[in-house]
Amino acid sequence: MAQHFSLAACDVVGFDLDHTLCRYNLPESARLIYNSFAQFLVKEKGYDKELLTVTPEDWDFCCKGLALDLEDGNFIKLADNGTVLRASHGTKMLAPEVLAEEYGRKEWKHFTPDLGMACRSGKYYFYDNYFDLPGALLCARVVDSLTKNNGQKPFDFWKDIVAGIQHNYKMSAFKENCGIYFPEIKRDPGRYLHTCPESVKKWLRQLKNAGKILMLITSSHSDYCRLLCEYILGNDFEYLFDIVITNALKPGFFSHLPSQRPFRTLENDEEQEALPSLDKPGWYSQGNAVHLYELLKKMTGKPEPKVVYFGDSMHSDIFPACHYSNWETVLILEELRGDRDGKPEDSEPLEKKGKYENYPWTTNLQVSLQTIQKQQAIIQTLHWSYQMMGN
């Protein structure tokens, strides 16, 4: 990855949708995601009703970069060399002496120095984005409940979490109004979504008028993508993008071969036949970066068009786009709010608030060169600790 790059030199500008172009009202969306799982576990699987009650302090447990060991119920935070920096059993932090006895200074059992830590496995789960974080809190509280009630170990609750994902977020859930999440988003999008600032819309139009090819690549399904984009960008949002790819199933979109993940056309938001290649711009589902790049060559008339991709997930966006496709990348971090307008935030608030309590989350996509350089430096630092992530 280049330390610096010029946005003006890029032929193609691509964007993720969720938490990149589309900003969520995190306090509200986090509670909605949590409730979508908690209600399912309590009503359908018989879990303790205490899961339904969450205090503002509970949200302080949420932290990007946590890994859940699905067998022993421990949440861990790793150093870049694979050793365990800190850990909790459920929400209960392990004392230093317990941490030393259980993990010592050796690499965590699932860490491999050559391949790094894959983010999806049958033995652990890695939390790196705002959609996942409410699930981390829920799973930690499930471990607390199971430990208190029957001392269960090894734990066997993950199958119920997967069932909750399927119930609330399966491909047909939006159309069928299944679960809690999609019906609520459709009922009151303004409660959960921030509209794009006019400055961002203007910037997108300027990019397009300057001859850039604009792409939207999201793992959200087409019907949900359309709802989000119409709300945040307007009903004419499709005019802004030459190519829209939904249900992209990142990071596999970047790492899989074309035969493993072909593009599919859409009809009334239903996926149709697989395509042998991608011949023209438009709206597609699934797919792969190899066929997409071949199309970009045709559209630009260049043998090696330069692509930059904006995204919020190290695992799904930044690492695979750079590593497998050699794209330039810009990591969108709401945590960088302190750099907005070059004005640092106060060092400490007058009183401590919960992580999701009254926090004015912002993302400014019209990033200055200075901020892009800072983001690239952060990516460089994170990159080698996430090297060779799973597909």
- Torsion over CA: 375, 378, 380, 386 (sign): negative
| Cβ neighbours around 329 below 10 Å, total | 25
100's enclosing H/E stretch is helix 96-103
| Cβ neighbours around 167 below 10 Å, total | 18
Round to the nearest angstrom and report the end-to-end CA distance of the chain: 19
DSSP state for residue 120 in the 8-state scheme: B
Distance of CA 138 to the CA centre of its chain: 18
CA distances (Å), origin 194, targets 16, 28, 129, 222, 361: 16, 11, 18, 19, 10
Catalytic position from the list 11, 16, 69, 223: 16
**Residue 156 is among the residues annotated as catalytic for this protein:** no
Taking each helix axis as running N to C, give the angle between helix 158-169 and helix 133-150, from 0 to 180 degrees, rounded to the nearest 10: 140
12-37 exposure pattern, b = at least 16 Cβ within 10 A, e = fewer: bbbbbbbbbbbbbebbbbbbbbbbbb
CA distances (Å), origin 298, targets 213, 276, 281: 12, 16, 10
Phi, psi of 85 (to 5 degrees): -80, -45
**Residue 223 is among the residues annotated as catalytic for this protein:** no
Catalytic position from the list 11, 18, 128, 144: 18
Q: Please give the positions annotated as active site.
A: 16, 18
